[in-house]
Amino acid sequence: MATLLKILQAMLMLFAIVMGLKQGWAMVAAKPDMLRMFGRLGVAGTGITALGVITLASAVLIPFPRTFLYGNFLMAAGILFIMALELQHKDLRGFAIEVPFFLLSLMIIYLGHPLTAK
């Protein structure tokens, strides 16, 4: 059972890292979809780039046990920021899309790093 939990932790962590790198790079590279989404929320080019750098940094911090918690907190904070912007603009659909990713970050924090002993 413990091995199965470690595998689940590793898979969730890997998914979060891949999504963080993918979305962070899309923000830094100013992909049209990102510019459109954040433009609708009132975030300018520099803000999108800053959020992308923070997202990339959090994805890079997650794999290492010593920075695991910091990376996940950064990831959750970035997602929470986007959720707040969605609510401010009364976009419940956009908010609902972000909820699973926020809960994923919280679940990963709760489960802990798969390579550390408990």
pTM: 0.89
State the pLDDT at residue 118: 63
Q: Which residues have a Cβ under 8 Å from the Cβ of 101 and sit 6 or more positions away?
A: 19, 79
78: tokens are 């970035």
Q: Domains of the chain: which residue ranges? A: 2-111
Q: What is the mean pLDDT of residues 71-98?
A: 94
Residues 82, 46: Cα–Cα separation, whole Å = 15
Residue 117: is its pLDDT beyond 80?
A: no
| pLDDT tier for residue 1 given thresholds of 50, 70 and 90 | confident
**Of 64, 42, 73, whose CA–CA distance to 113 is shortest?**
64
The band of 84, judged by pLDDT with boundaries at 50, 70 and 90, is very high
Predicted pLDDT of residue 115: 84
6: helix, strand or coil? helix
Burial, 74: exposed, middle or buried (Cβ in 10 Å; 0-12, 13-18, 19+)? buried
* pLDDT tens per residue across span 42-82: 998 899 999 999 999 999 999 999 999 999 999 999 999 99
3-state secondary structure of 65: coil
Asked whether the predicted pLDDT for residue 2 surpasses 90, the reply is no
Cα–chain center distance at 106: 10
Does residue 28 carry a pLDDT above 90?
yes
